[in-house]
């Protein structure tokens, strides 16, 4: 039997542990939500986090024959975040909120029942419909690896490992982070890579007290190490805990039919067929809106009663809303 070196064995054990944690512990274990029931900070309060390097940062380094760690010249630096689109919606009774990735995250031309519903609702003359449309439309988010707590007080899990998760940040926070790193319009204010484990910067996220107001972000005045000397031993191997957020979203994004069923509470979703102009509609659109039943009312296409016009589901908007970024996926065709 071939012997594993201590180094390789340790690396594999650590990676296996990390994968197990990431797979078996469910989404809440991996995600830092800024709003909703599991929000990491209450309205009007603030939280300190450290953003972390890109998930493949380990590939940036390699050990040469002499055991010296050097930078891998083949490693391509890339941004430390992943841009995605989320949908949030509320159950008809308003008691629960669902969040799903929008399929347009990976393909701007993808069909998405939530995007379609949001568009139709936005066109409705009814203000409640419009509000619901705004509620459910795709929200742009920027996913970063992060750890809660300021330097020397970073978050560790119950089993003593660094509590590294991914943070879903709205565009306002992203823009602030980008400005800290690049200086924005004033390059002399740039702090460079604030995610650097050796001399990056903690940031403070200040949640607005009022729904709809903007998040504020502050950057620590001094650079700091990621883990204080007393945390270093416990934190060993932390890069293996970084979440590959792009792969995660790719794995979690649902199909049209699954999203349809989740939103309307019924089966029967199929992506739209031929484009509208192929129908002889006598000047009217082929359908005002697909014959979707009201949410929560199970039915089949054959026994569904005709819906009153406008045939759009109407849910009351709820107090709890996702990050205040009412932006559509960039470059959508519609
Ligand atoms: Zn969508």
Average the pLDDT over each of 86-90, 199-203, 290-294 and give the range with the smallest value.
Answer: 290-294
Task: Read off the DSSP letter of residue 156.
Answer: B
Distance from residue 128's CA to the centre of ligand 1 (Å) = 20
User: What digits encode the pLDDT tens for the residues 306-319?
Assistant: 333 333 343 433 33
pLDDT score recorded for residue 19: 59
With 0.85 as the threshold, say if the pTM is over it.
no
Distance from residue 259's CA to the centre of ligand 1 (Å) = 9
pLDDT score recorded for residue 30: 87
Between these two residues, 104 and 2, which has the higher pLDDT value? 104
Distance from residue 260's CA to the centre of ligand 1 (Å) = 11
pLDDT score recorded for residue 66: 85
Pairing of strands 69-71, 97-101: unpaired
Q: How confident is the model at residue 76 (pLDDT cuts 50, 70, 90)?
A: confident
pLDDT score recorded for residue 236: 92
* Residues contacting 299, CB < 8 A, separation 6+: 266, 293, 305
Q: How confident is the model at residue 303 (pLDDT cuts 50, 70, 90)?
A: very low
Average the pLDDT over each of 96-105, 114-123, 190-199, 308-317 and give the range with the smallest value.
Answer: 308-317
pLDDT score recorded for residue 275: 40
Distance from residue 192's CA to the centre of ligand 1 (Å) = 34
Distance from residue 155's CA to the centre of ligand 1 (Å) = 33
Q: How confident is the model at residue 294 (pLDDT cuts 50, 70, 90)?
A: very low
Average pLDDT of span 74-85:
93
Q: Are 196 and 53 in contact (CB under 8 A)?
A: yes
Distance from residue 63's CA to the centre of ligand 1 (Å) = 44
Q: How many CB atoms lie within 10 A of CB 321?
A: 18
Distance from residue 294's CA to the centre of ligand 1 (Å) = 19
CATH 1.10.490.10 describes domain 26-271+289-334: no
Q: How many CB atoms lie within 10 A of CB 166?
A: 23
Identify which of 151, 152, 178, 154 has the alpha carbon closest to the alpha carbon of residue 165: 154
Distance from residue 170's CA to the centre of ligand 1 (Å) = 16
Q: What are phi and psi of 97, to 5 degrees?
A: -120, 140
Domain ranges in the chain are: 26-271+289-334
Q: How far apart are CA 86 and CA 136, in angstroms?
A: 9
Distance from residue 39's CA to the centre of ligand 1 (Å) = 22
Distance from residue 141's CA to the centre of ligand 1 (Å) = 13
Residue 308 has which token pair? Answer: 């009153």
In this predicted structure, the answer to whether residue 276 has a pLDDT above a threshold of 70 is no
Average pLDDT of span 145-150:
97
In this predicted structure, the answer to whether residue 52 has a pLDDT above a threshold of 50 is yes
Distance from residue 331's CA to the centre of ligand 1 (Å) = 13
Q: How confident is the model at residue 322 (pLDDT cuts 50, 70, 90)?
A: very low
Average the pLDDT over each of 69-73, 123-127, 172-176, 255-259 and give the range with the smallest value.
Answer: 69-73
Pairing of strands 164-170, 31-32: parallel
């Amino acid at each position: 039997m071939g012997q594993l070196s201590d180094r390789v064995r340790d690396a594999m054990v650590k990676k296996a542990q990390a994968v197990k944690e990431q797979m078996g512990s469910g989404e809440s274990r991996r995600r830092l939500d800024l709003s909703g029931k599991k929000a990491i900070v209450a309205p009007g309060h603030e939280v300190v986090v450290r953003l972390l390097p890109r998930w493949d940062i380990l590939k940036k380094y390699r050990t040469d024959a002499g055991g010296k760690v050097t930078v891998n010249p083949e490693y391509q630096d890339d941004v430390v975040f992943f841009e995605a689109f989320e949908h949030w919606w509320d159950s008809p009774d308003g008691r629960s909120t669902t969040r799903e990735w929008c399929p347009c995250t990976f393909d701007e031309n993808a069909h998405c029942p939530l995007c379609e519903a949001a568009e139709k609702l936005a066109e409705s003359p009814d203000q409640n419909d419009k509000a619901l449309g705004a509620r459910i439309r795709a929200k742009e988010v920027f996913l970063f690896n992060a750890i809660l707590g300021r330097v020397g007080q970073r978050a560790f899990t119950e089993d003593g490992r660094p509590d590294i998760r991914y943070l879903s940040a709205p565009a306002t926070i992203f823009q602030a982070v980008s400005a800290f790193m690049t200086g924005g319009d004033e390059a002399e204010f740039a702090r460079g890579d604030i995610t650097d484990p050796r001399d990056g910067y903690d940031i403070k996220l200040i949640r607005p007290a009022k729904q709809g107001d903007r998040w504020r972000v502050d950057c620590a005045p001094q650079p700091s190490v990621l883990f204080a000397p007393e945390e270093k031993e416990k934190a060993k191997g932390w890069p293996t805990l970084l979440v590959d957020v792009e792969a995660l979203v790719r794995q979690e994004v649902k199909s049209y039919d699954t999203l349809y069923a989740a939103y309307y509470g019924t089966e029967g979703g199929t992506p739209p067929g031929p484009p509208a102009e192929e129908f002889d509609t006598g000047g009217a659109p082929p359908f005002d809106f697909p014959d979707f039943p009201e949410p929560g009312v199970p039915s089949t296409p054959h026994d569904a009663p005709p819906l009153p016009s406008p045939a759009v589901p109407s849910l009351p908007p709820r107090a709890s809303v996702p990050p205040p970024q009412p932006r559509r996926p960039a470059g959508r065709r519609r």
